[in-house]
Structures are given as C-alpha cells and as structure tokens.
Structure 1
Amino acid sequence: MRKLQAAVVGLVMALSCISINAAAATPLRITQLQRCGDLLETRQPTFCLQVPGLEQGPSQVRINGAPLAADQIDHGAGQIRVQVDAASTPSGPLWIEQQGQSSNPVWVSLGSSHVVAADQDAVAQNRDGLTTYVDLVSVIIEEGYDGIEEARRLAKRYDAEVVGAIPPLNTYQFRLPAKNLEQRDAAVLRIGNEVSVDAVVIEESGAEKLVERDIADPPIKTSEEEVSNRFLDAVNFYQRRLEKPSDHIETHPVRIGVIERDVDFDAPDFSDYLGDCRSDMTRTCVYARDAQAAGGHGTTVTGILAAGWDNGGSNGFLRALDQVGPGFDVIVDRNSDAGITANIAASVNLVEDGARVLNWSWGIHRIGARDVNGDPVDSLLRSGIAMSGYEELLEEFFLWLRREHPDVVVVNSAGNGASFSSRDDYRLPSSFVTDQLFVVGGHQRSSKDVDLDDPDYVTRRKASNSDMRVDITAAACTAGSSPLAEQTGPVHCGTSYATPLVAGVIAAMLSINPELQPDQLRMLLRRSAMTIGGESDFEPMEADDLTAPILPSERGNDLQDPDIGHSARLDMFKALELAVESLKNGR
C-alpha cells in the first residue's frame, strides 16, 4: 500500500513539474495593446496589454528603450495597464523584459486617433445579412466647427456618449442609447440631418476576415513569382550599388505603416525581432502584436517586407537590404477591431508618427457589385449605407493627407472580386483618384515559355480586380511563414500580397531619394515597368485593361516603343535604378 501511495505521489509531482515546465515554456508575448480608459485623454493616455507568458515576479516595461516607472504600471488579472506621459515620451516601440526574456515590441502611438470596437452583444444582422454595430457610429463634423465641442453638444442632445475620435478628420465616435437597428437607424437619420454634420459612418464588421483566394491553380512555384518582378535583381542592385565607395549614396531611414492585426513572432521568419530591435540602427525592425499562428494575413503581408531569410518560409525584401540599408521601421497596427473606421484611425496615427508609406492590403465591395463576367462579387461586401459613410471618411482622410502630409504614399490592393477597381459606387478605397494612392493588381506566372520581359510571361490572377485605375501589377502569390525552421511555408495568393511588393520598393526608393514626391514615384514605377497583357487601344474596354496602359510619355515619348498600350508590371530592379538616377537629375 505504501509503495502504491509513493508511486501516486511521485506521479503527481512529476505531472506538476511537467505543468510548471510547460507554463515556464510559454514565451513572453504581447498579444494585445489598445488604448483604454478615457480615449479622449491626450496628456496621460492609458494602454491595456495582454501578455501571455508573463510570470509572477519582477518585470520591466520599456518604451523607446527607457524603463517606465513603477507608478506608471498597474498589474491586473492577465492584463497590464500602463500610463504614458505624452508630453515627454514620443511614439515608439514598447516591450517587456523578464528573467532574461524579451517580448515582441509593439508600437505605442501617442496620436489622438482611437476608436472602440463593439462587444459581441452589441452587433446584429441587418437586412442584407451583414453584421453591423448597433450602438456605435462615427460622426464627421463639418470643417467650420470645433470638432470635440460640437461632438459633445450633439452627444448630449441625443443622449449619447463620445467614446472615440479621429480629430484630424473632425470625426468622433458616439455610443448611442440604441438597443436595436431600428433605434440606431432613427438616430443616424436625425444626427445626419444636423447642420454641423457632414456624414454619419455606420460600421459593418468583417473587414478582418481572410477572404484571399489562396488556392493555387495550377500549382504555384513562388520562386518563379519573385522572378516576374525581378525581386532578387533589385536586392542585388541595392546591395551592390550602395556599397560602391567611389560613388557613395547616403541612405535615409523610412517608416512603413502596415494596416494589419498581428504577426507571429514564434515563426522563424520573425523570431529575431524580439526586444530592442533598434539597438542596431541599420537593420529592419518590425513592431506588432503577436499572432497565434504563422498562417495569418498580417504575418504573410508583413513577411513580404520583413521576414528573415532562408528560414523555409518567406523572404522579406527590406530585410535583405540590412547590410547597406538605413534601418527600415515596419509598424503593424490596426488600432482596434472596429473595421474600416479603425483602419483609418491607425493610418492617421501612423502618418503623424512619421510613416512615409502605408500598406493597405484591404478593400471592400458594395453589395450588387458585378465581376467581369457579370456575376455578383461575393468578397468583402458592405451595404449601400455603409459604403456611403466609408466613402465620406476616406475622402476626409485623403483631403487631410494632401493638405498636411503631401509626401505620404498609400499603396492599396486592387481587390479579389474579379471586378473593376475604379467604380467608386462599388469598390473602396481603390477607386479614389489621387496622386497619393497607388493601386496594385495581381498577376501570376503563365504557362508560356517566353523571356522574362515578354508581356505573356505572366497573366492576370483570375480573382484580381483590374481596369484603368490600377497603376501596376505585381506577383499575387507568395510563400507564407512556417512555424518550423526549414519547413516550406504554405502558398498564399491575392492582391493583398502583391501590394507589399510595391510598398517595399517604394520605401527602398525613398531611402535612396527621400525628396521623391508621390507623382514622381508613380512616374518612376511606370517608366520602369515591364509589360503584361495585350495591347490596349486606350479605351476602358471591360477587362482588357489590367492597368492603365503605358503611355508614350512613360517611354521617352517614343511612339514606336513596343511597350506602349500594354499594362504595367512591377520591375523592382529598374525602379531602384531610376531612383538612383533621380539623384543626378535633381528629382
């Protein structure tokens, strides 16, 4: 009997040790960082963090490398609250250190733009079967009014509460006393008729859902996809050309904002980004919340920019430039899960924090949109009333961008509805026409055995939206990150993954010549482009125009150039070469 008891005790102790060791093995990660408390407080904002792997005992929270004082940190059940003095602390990376471990660094933006997402019990299905917020709306105040003062007046009048804000856009988020959609719609109608109100934005959730067409048919070789945009040639040119001591080119740091939720820092592609990344001033750094798995949308999009090399997963373009690069910051943030409104809030903060390039691998279609074959589009659908509000919000954003930050570039995916990217009544935001918005379509390797620069080397990805509003196409298929080193990552396809190829090369061009403006960057991308598809007659005929056709002015006014009339395909190598030439030309 005693032997049996001893055996049981030993088994319990062994299991306890296994449990303790398993708990100790949980890596220190920040999975959530969001504004909390009073979102309108700008002097002493509070942030709530969720940190799996944080154990009992001493730990250190650092922001911009400096430790936060103990009275700025409050430890709760499974959560840390930190308060930051915005007057003495600039926006920057925050991470946690404990027992020799460092967490992933997340970007703390001390900008004033933050919105909240609806609780699970505060959403409902509308008549179109879409999930929509019941009690949260955003109100765009007319320019002639003091935004916060007018928002508070309106909130008091309608028994609402101001809970979020995007002040640079004079936009404020209200929590209405609505219990159902009928009450919400009645309030929206009344508020929208106020003289001081430009528009009311209702949020239809679901923008975070993955809808990329990941099935590769026929099977995709990602190495061939990289070749189609001269990816490795561009890496070689940047490394070789910028290392030449005889003709020194000074590079400049560039900050890139990626509107995504999170990145898997347990994947080998990102495992060396933990802690104080900026201790090395010349390397690429990634700041993001930690993801549960390597196959997520944010991990794949960010990997095209910044994944480590030769890990079996993705290979990041900017990461390859570390040896001679200026130190690229890749900031991954979505503000909150409040859909399109949160995307815009995050974008405003990132621009105010110094981002020169924004990567928008997202977009929406209105219900009723048709593809090139006349069939209904079934991806990322929104109702007409939601689309009208989003359009007003996006218009305010681009007007603000042009007025206050004319050197910033937004790179946006054309979409995966096999539809038309330019129809503003059916597609946002790619339908906006502004020098600061670059729209990217997707292509994949064709089955034809032709030279790389032949228009038939690639073909449009069937799901990719197209037409004259698309500026350029890039490879739509990429290798995703893998959870294990040396393991081949899954193939992901979609315009979301073509977009960071263009965003990355634009960032590299700006690192060479930071004086380049959006219209000049577009010109250099188009001048350097290879071709795709047949020759166009410059008429917007259905699906024949994969992008805006190449013009004689983009080929040295040579009317006989064979590229004229074809659609444009990204040439990363030639784009960097032209960026270097622009230094000599004073552009």
Structure 2
Amino acid sequence: MRVAAIGLLGALTCAPAFAGQDLRITQLQRCGDLFARDRLTWCLHASGLPEAQVGLQLAGKPLRAERVERDGQHLRLTLPAAEHESGPLWLEHDGQRSNPVWLSLGRSHVLAATADEVTENMDGLTTYVDLVSLIVEEDQDGLETARRLAEKYAAKVVGAIAPLNTYQLRLPVKNLTERDAMLLRLGNEVGVDAVVIEESAAESGEQEPDRERPQNREWAANRFLDAVDYYRERIPAKRAPIDTEPVRIGVIERAVDFDAPNFAAYLQPCDPAAGRTCLYARDADEPDSHGSSVSGILAARAADARDSGFLSALDAAGPGFEVIVDPNSDGGIAAKVAASVNLVEDGVRILNWSWGIHRIGTVDVDGEPVDSLLRSGIAMSGYEELLEEFFRWLRREHPEVLVINSAGNGSARSGRDDYRLPSSFITEQLLVVGGHQRNQRRDVPVEHPQHTTKRASSNLDMRVDITAAACTRAATPEPGRRGEVHCGTSYATPLVAGAVAAMLSINPRLEPEQVRELLRRSAMTIGRDSDFEAAEADDLTAPILPSERNDRLDDRDVGRSARLDMRKALELTVDSLRHER
C-alpha cells in the first residue's frame, strides 16, 4: 500500500533499513501514464531508506511533500511538467546524501521485459516475446497510428520515443510463433516504416579481461597527463587566459558504484558552476562494473593522479563538466536510443556509446565467426532503421551533437552496415574509436608509430576514425588498492569523449566535422609504413591523408592509422580560436 509522504517524505511505518546501510538510489525511471502531458511520474527505488524523514532534492530545490508517495524502499514522484526542468535528483537524511541521479523531463521511455516475458529463439538468443516497437512513417501522427494499430490488434501502447515517431506495443501473444505472425501483419500496415524487436538483455558492454597491462603506460600513449598539464596551465594563463564554457556528456551505461573511493566524493554537494566535474548516476553493486569503468575514465577521483578521470583532473581550470550516466531502462537497444534522445534534449553535447552489436554470421579478418554481442538478421534490420531515424533526427534538430562510439572487439570490419551497428553508419555526427595497446617488443618514444600496436580484438577498417588506449584499471572498494585491468574498445571511447569535451569547452563553436578534423590532424600514428590493404589488418583506422598533414604528400604519417594525441588536440583547439578572429 502506498502512503502519501508527511513533511518531506515524513515519518513512515515501514521496516527499518538494514543497519549501517548507506542511502543509495538504484533505479529511477518513468512510470504511470507515459503519455500524460501536464503531470509526469517517476518510480524510484532506493536502498538504506530509514523510517524517519527523508529529504528529496531536485536541482538543489526540495520537492513538495504532496508530490511524493512511498511504499517501503520505493518512491513515486509526480511533478507538474511546467514547474520543473531536468536536473540532478538526490535524497538527504541526517546529514547524509545519496548519489545524485539525472531526472530527465524528456518523454522518451521504453519498457524492459521481465524474466518471464523473454524466451530463447532458434538462434539461441534471448528475445522479447510481447514487447515490440513500431517506427511510424514521418508523414504520420505516430501516437495516433500506434493507438489505431493497437486497437486493431488488441495490443497496448506502453512506451515511446516520440521525436523518432517510434512507439512500443505490448502484443497479445504468448509465444514466438504468435509474435512473428503478428510482426508480419504489423510490418505490412500502411504508415509503418519498420518493426523493432529486442534480443538479449541490456548490453554488458564491449570489454575483455586483461590483468597484465598497467593503465598509466597505456594512457601515456595518448599523452593523457600531458593534456591535463596543458589544460591546467594554458587555460588560466595570466597573459592570455581562455574563456571556457561548461559541457554536458551523456554516458549510456547502467550505473556507477558510489561505494568505491573513486566515486565517493560525488556523494557530497557538487556545483558545475563552480568549475567542478559532477557525476550523476544510479548506484551499482560492484566497483568493477562496466559503467563504473567507463564513467571513471571521465570522472574518477583517485589519490594517484595517473588513475584519475580526465575531466575531474581538469577541475582546477575547467568550466565545470557534467557527466550524466543514464540507460533509460534495461530495454536493450531501444532503451539506449531513448536515453540518448532525452539527454540530447537536456543539453548534452557529447554522447558516449561504449556498445555495439554484430549480426549473426559476421566473420573476423581471419574468416572466423565472431561470437560476441550477436543479433539475428530480423533484429538487426529493425535496429538499423531505429538508429537511422535517430541520426536523421540528430542532423535535423541537433547538428552540434557528436556521438562517440566504440568500434567493437570482434577483430572484424566495423564499417559493414549489414554486420555491425552502430559504428557502420556514415554521418558527420558519429565518431568511431578503435583500440590499441602498448608495444611490448619495441621501446621507442611515444611519438613513434610502433610505440603502440593494434589490439588483436579491436574492430578495424576505414570507418574507424581514431584509436585510443584500450585498457583501464577498474575501481576497487578499498582506498589505495589498485583494481584489475580491463581492456576493450569500450574504454578507448571515453578517452576520446573526454578529449572532445575539453576541446568543446575551449571552443564550443566547433562543429562535429571540425572536431573530427582536429582529432585526426593532431593524431600520432600507429602501424607500419603506408599500407592500404585491409587484408593485412594494418588499416586499423581510415589512413591519414595529405590534407590532414598540411597537404604534404611526403609526410611520413600519410597512409598510417590515427592514434589519439590528447595534448596536441587541445593545442589545435586553442589555435582554432585565433583563426576565428
């Protein structure tokens, strides 16, 4: 039974929280009537809620008592849309704060299937039985069309990504035979562009274990600390200081473990206007979770500067970065797209997508089948249509936003649109990142092309724009203890995202294509002498062109793959300010 809050979530007669359990928000998502216009509802799950009064703050302002209901460790928030804006939400009690999570007033949300609403298909993949999404033709009223078809097929509209004219239906089916029969009928309806089915649960991310490589040596290959030093010294320089602007970064991940020392500081008040990096995320159970590692590369606060996140290391000079971690729900690819839409509407300039999928039948550069993150052909075609709608909307409504995506770890070709998503899309607003590792056989300077080598698992080819270090140390629950090293293109991606965020803080007028140009103009190289044959697996990225080296045909970098140089990218961004004057 739900009871209205008294005071600010006043005295309640529920079971006391586990002794010593910290106050944490573990879930926050839209619920109730997703299509309500004036009053929006969210369901929040927390751990450590006491019996006594608890405060609930949204963007630093307390929520009124009558807008909150409680049932045990669950809260239900109902807010007038006209009176609030998207912002960080947290709980307070007796001097303790919970982790801040991002509450978005964006209307895009899809449901995730429960354990008894999925089954295994003929390919051995877990698939949703009764939840599908309809992409409605652009000239149609999407909600009206979805409701008309729902009534015709005795279904129910339960979710939406309205800016993409996409609506989620719960079908009256009990097995895959019934579902697939209904999919055929829905797909042939007038006004329906495509039907999206979900396979597997939310992505675990693209990573692989590696316990041998020290993180600081890997990041040195991208001049990580050199970039931190340059930003700290050059931006506030007394003779010619640079005005910077705050940047929001959206990270499509599940959660971050705020019990880990690397993230504990974010349980305290954080004001980006004061030039601090702020992190908003749901709480995870494990410090070495994928979301913690990806987010940590941007925002970890470690005693050892070599393990700190890039943006948090800029706090002394930066304008204030906001890192928003949000998966929408565990509803697979559609949920990732829904979260991305909401975050873009909330002012995110960069989206970090450390995820991707391969079609069943994908083969690597050696002709062997790829066996990770697989989807069936029917699922891939639906995802391709959905992602195409997303990038079309992005180009039309938000041309300033850049999506930074991992190339993948299948040792396959990232640009094959029939076998790999989303990295295969050709658009100025998608930047694809491959992974490299330190060359253990050659002791050469960082600028040398053979200082690093292609990571054997990294996807490759002309569609990959740049590479970055693929290995990072996971957070741990104990201060001073260093975590195990995890590797994959998932962790190369936020290195590039962090560099881009710093670049945009210096010159917010840069367009996505200009960002790509500066990254590749500043890039160091990787690999042997010029080799344009992908069969040799040396073309890890699109080869550097003469136009990216001052139009010099004889430049030694021409033809090699591009390796992120974080410091040089910042230097060129500062130079770009002079060229605009």
Partners of 1:327 and 1:23 in 2: CA distance: 36
Q: Equivalences for 1:59-138 in 2 at 5 Å?
A: 59-138=54-133
**Pair 1:535-2:529 in alignment:** yes
Q: 1:561 aligns with which of 548, 555, 558?
A: 555
**Pair 1:299-2:295 in alignment:** no
Q: Is the 8 A contact 2:468 2:495 kept in 1?
A: yes
| 1:51 corresponds to | 46
Partners of 1:264 and 1:281 in 2: CA distance: 24
Q: 1:178 aligns with which of 142, 163, 173?
A: 173
Shift, 1:275, TM fit: 4.7
Q: Equivalences for 1:120-269 in 2 at 5 Å?
A: 120-210=115-205, 212-216=207-211, 219-269=212-262
| 2:33 corresponds to | 38
Q: Is the 8 A contact 1:65 1:276 kept in 2?
A: no
Q: Is the 8 A contact 1:47 1:82 kept in 2?
A: yes
Q: Equivalences for 1:179-578 in 2 at 5 Å?
A: 179-210=174-205, 212-216=207-211, 219-278=212-271, 281-310=274-303, 314-447=307-440, 448-541=442-535, 543-578=537-572
Partners of 1:422 and 1:279 in 2: CA distance: 37
Shift, 1:276, TM fit: 3.2
Gaps of 5+ in 2: 1-14
Partners of 2:393 and 2:125 in 1: CA distance: 30
* TM value normalised by structure 2: 0.95
Q: Is the 8 A contact 1:30 1:49 kept in 2?
A: yes
* Deviations 1:337-386 (CA, angstroms, capped at 9, x unpaired): 00000000000000000000000000000000001111110110000000
Amino acid at match of 2:303: D
Q: Is the 8 A contact 1:312 1:487 kept in 2?
A: no
| 1:14 corresponds to | none
Bigger Cα Rg: 1
Amino acid at match of 2:459: N
Partners of 2:17 and 2:483 in 1: CA distance: 26
Q: Is the 8 A contact 1:287 1:331 kept in 2?
A: yes
Shift, 1:99, TM fit: 1.1
Q: Is the 8 A contact 2:273 2:319 kept in 1?
A: no
**Paired residue total:** 566
* TM value normalised by structure 1: 0.95
What secondary structure sits across from 1:484 in the alignment?
A: coil
Partners of 1:546 and 1:525 in 2: CA distance: 16
Shift, 1:441, TM fit: 0.3
Shift, 1:77, TM fit: 2.3
Shift, 1:560, TM fit: 1.2
Partners of 1:451 and 1:203 in 2: CA distance: 47
Partners of 2:437 and 2:17 in 1: CA distance: 44
Q: Is the 8 A contact 1:162 1:174 kept in 2?
A: yes
Partners of 2:37 and 2:54 in 1: CA distance: 26
Instruction: Return closer, same or farther for 1:295/1:537 CA change in 2, 3 Å cut-off.
Output: closer
Partners of 2:543 and 2:194 in 1: CA distance: 36
Q: Is the 8 A contact 2:360 2:377 kept in 1?
A: yes
Instruction: Return closer, same or farther for 1:207/1:418 CA change in 2, 3 Å cut-off.
Output: farther
What secondary structure sits across from 1:159 in the alignment?
A: coil
Partners of 1:139 and 1:449 in 2: CA distance: 55
Amino acid at match of 1:55: P
Amino acid at match of 1:361: S
Q: Is the 8 A contact 1:312 1:489 kept in 2?
A: no
Q: Indicate the larger mover: 76-85 or 21-30.
A: 21-30
- The percent of aligned pairs where both chains have the same amino acid is 63
Shift, 1:479, TM fit: 1.2
Partners of 2:53 and 2:458 in 1: CA distance: 51
Shift, 1:128, TM fit: 0.1
Partners of 1:341 and 1:266 in 2: CA distance: 30
Instruction: Return closer, same or farther for 1:315/1:370 CA change in 2, 3 Å cut-off.
Output: same
Partners of 2:505 and 2:267 in 1: CA distance: 24
* Deviations 1:207-245 (CA, angstroms, capped at 9, x unpaired): 4235521134xx212111011000000000000001212
Partners of 1:292 and 1:44 in 2: CA distance: 32
Q: Is the 8 A contact 1:105 1:275 kept in 2?
A: no
Partners of 1:147 and 1:21 in 2: CA distance: 46
* Deviations 1:43-80 (CA, angstroms, capped at 9, x unpaired): 21111111111100111101011101110000102201
